[in-house]
Amino acid sequence: MTTNATLRQLVLAATLCTAAVHAEEARVLRIQGKVLSSETLAGATLTVLQDGAAFTRMVQGLAQFQMDLPLGHEYRLSFERPGTIGKELLFDTRLPGDARPPKDLFFQFQVSLLAQPAEGAVRYDGPVGLIAFNDQEGDFGYEHLRTARLVPLTGPAAAPVKRARREAAPFVDPTMELAAWVETRRAETHP
């Protein structure tokens, strides 16, 4: 009888542990965003990659949107609209092992899409912001990535590099005496 009771307790404990693990896995970071632009948002898109693979894409409703990002992954959100400088945000939803944040995680943000300059189309060479869990705050926070630079969207094709082939001059002419060869080389290089 005690063996059956012990087995039941073990099964119950295993079930509860499994449920707790699945509950932790199901946790999400709910993001609420706004896309701002001086022009209409027609043609604007939001592409989301999860750990480098396609996750979702939105083509409407970007003025205000909401999305759930499951925890434990890295997300790259790319905001684009024809005629504007596209921007990327990096969301790192991985939590430190000892972090015990509140059950509901929420992050609000806005992205401004600025018009392309008249001088020529440009783009950022990487994400402009990082959103990650901050241990001191116990919540997600934003960090402006100042390493992202504006670079030309399409540059002129690089001209092929011309490489002139030179024949190697012999170091020592075997038919001459060494001293005579040195004098000849000096005369050639220092006229």
Give the per-residue pLDDT at 11.
Answer: 45
Amino acid at the residue 76: R
pTM of the predicted model as reported, rounded to 2 decimal places: 0.66
**Is the CATH code 2.60.40.10 the one for domain 28-152?**
yes
CA-CA distance, 73 to 38, in Å (whole number)? 33
What's the mean pLDDT in 137-148?
89
Is the confidence at residue 74, as pLDDT, over 90? yes
Buried b (16+ CB within 10 A) or exposed e, 155-188: eeeeeeeeeeeeeeeeeeeeeeeeeebeeeeeee
Domain ranges of the chain: 28-152
Amino acid at the residue 19: A
